[in-house]
Structure 1
Amino acid sequence: MTDQTPTPLTTSEAAPPARRPRPKVMTLTPRAAERVRAIMASKGPDIAGLKIGVKKGGCAGMEYTMTWADKIEKFDEVVEQDGARVIVDPQAVLYLLGTEMDYKTEKLSSTFVFNNPNQSGACGCGESVNLTPARQD
């Protein structure tokens, strides 16, 4: 007769520890989500979302980029909020981590505004910013 008692799992056989939830790269205010959703609807079903990135340029060093994407690439980060979909370019993630995207309407203009904790400066005209990558911890 053999003993049928199960042997305890060793640490290498135990379930991996639960990963902490990944923070959203960015969030949208209700106004920004409403505007992105409205523009996406007008563009038709072939649009996957609004793609956000950063590029070198301007007098402060970097500029935000926005384009319409027809597909989501393998390493893109996707933020879906209130029916709006924003796709973050993987090369921009560390520069946009923690950013809130807003939409402001003033007397003579309407624009998306990025409230970015990684921004350390901006030029006087508001067209470019100085961004520092977020720490990876």
Structure 2
Amino acid sequence: MAISLTQAAADHIQRHLKKRGGGLGLRLGIRLTGCSGMAYKLDFVDEATPGDQLFEEYGIKLFVDPKSLPFIDGTQVDYGRDGLNEGFKFINPNEKASCGCGESFTV
């Protein structure tokens, strides 16, 4: 099982960790919501939770809880700008469909 980051995502996370004064890394998970059922959830991590899966790339630690991992296994986290929109982009091979607004997905 693996989750990966692009250099652009790692750079963005690193800037925000410095801005907030530190932290261990970023937690990636899912929550039940939206018209398609699931949405990605990101939080800064100051303390690891027992059972977390840890992935590290470009010096950034990415924590994933065991309940979320089967739905996001193989996901690549990117960061970019598209016109006036800027944010994280999730390339998830498990995703079967997403809603029109792009806020939620289903597997």
TM-score, length of structure 1 as denominator length = 0.74
C-alpha separation in 1, matches of 2:45 and 2:60: 13
Aligned residue for 1:31, secondary structure, equals helix
Residue among 33, 57, 60 paired with 1:57? 33
Decide which structure has greater strand share.
2
Structure 2 unaligned blocks of 5 or more: none
Q: State the AA in 2 paired with 1:93.
A: L
- Structure 2 counterparts to residues 113-132 of structure 1, below 5 A: 113-131=89-107
Q: Percent identity?
A: 34
Give the deviation of 1:106 after TM superposition. 2.2
Q: 1:35 corresponds to which residue?
A: 12
Give the deviation of 1:107 after TM superposition. 2.4
C-alpha separation in 1, matches of 2:60 and 2:25: 8
Query: CA deviation digits over 1:22-45, x for unaligned, max 9?
Result: x4x200111111111111121113
- Structure 2 counterparts to residues 1-137 of structure 1, below 5 A: 23=1, 25-45=2-22, 47-131=23-107
Aligned residue for 2:100, secondary structure, equals coil
Aligned residue for 2:19, secondary structure, equals helix
TM superposition outliers: structure 1 runs of 4+ over 4 Å: none
RCO (CA 8 Å, sep 6+): is it higher in 1 or 2? 2
Between the two proteins, the alignment pairs up a number of residues equal to 107
